[in-house]
Structure 1
Amino acid sequence: MRTSPISPGWRWRSTATGCHWAASRPRSLEGFSGEQRFFLGFGQVWRNKYREPYLRRVLMTDGHSPGEYRASTVRNIDAWYQAFGATPGQTLFLTPEQRVRIW
């Protein structure tokens, strides 16, 4: 398990690929595989734009980090590296030893 809210969804998607409805889904859509679309959707959920005064208030009063930092948690999930072929030297790349693992 990883320290990411995406982990349960990824586990569900990984097990659901054997379902009868999974065969009817396109393997590629607009050049992205199903795995890539899953991670793109996760990133889009956290997409937002704040005005500075609001962001300051949220940072002081909300226990949750802003979405831009939540979306970066994919860098701790091995499946993300397989989906996009991330390699050393790229911005979000972490070596397997650097990736956060809870248990």
Structure 2
Amino acid sequence: MKLYQIAHSRTGDKGNISTISVIAYSKEDYPCLCEQLTEDKVLAWFTKIGATRVKRYEVPSLGALNFVLENTLGGGVTRSLALDKHGKSLSGLMLEMDLN
């Protein structure tokens, strides 16, 4: 199943760092997010666009995970020529991840 089937996402960006929050539609799916969306898995998913580090923060009261991804914006939004690498587009890429 794809991540978008059980969660939605919000993003932000600052410099060359992107933040991606993944929020479960149902609180019952939050444990699945915690199990499936590890820092290593998210880093592997975003390495192809330059990510070098991922830090995950858990927000159980919201049924959400927040990821801080370094070096994902092609040098930063104002420096990048790749419009599709801005934070908002990365949420769509995240939601395409496969879950077991």
Give the TM-score normalised by the residue count of structure 2. 0.23
**Comparing both structures, which one devotes a greater share of its residues to strand?**
2
Max Rg structure: 1
**Comparing both structures, which one devotes a greater share of its residues to helix?**
1
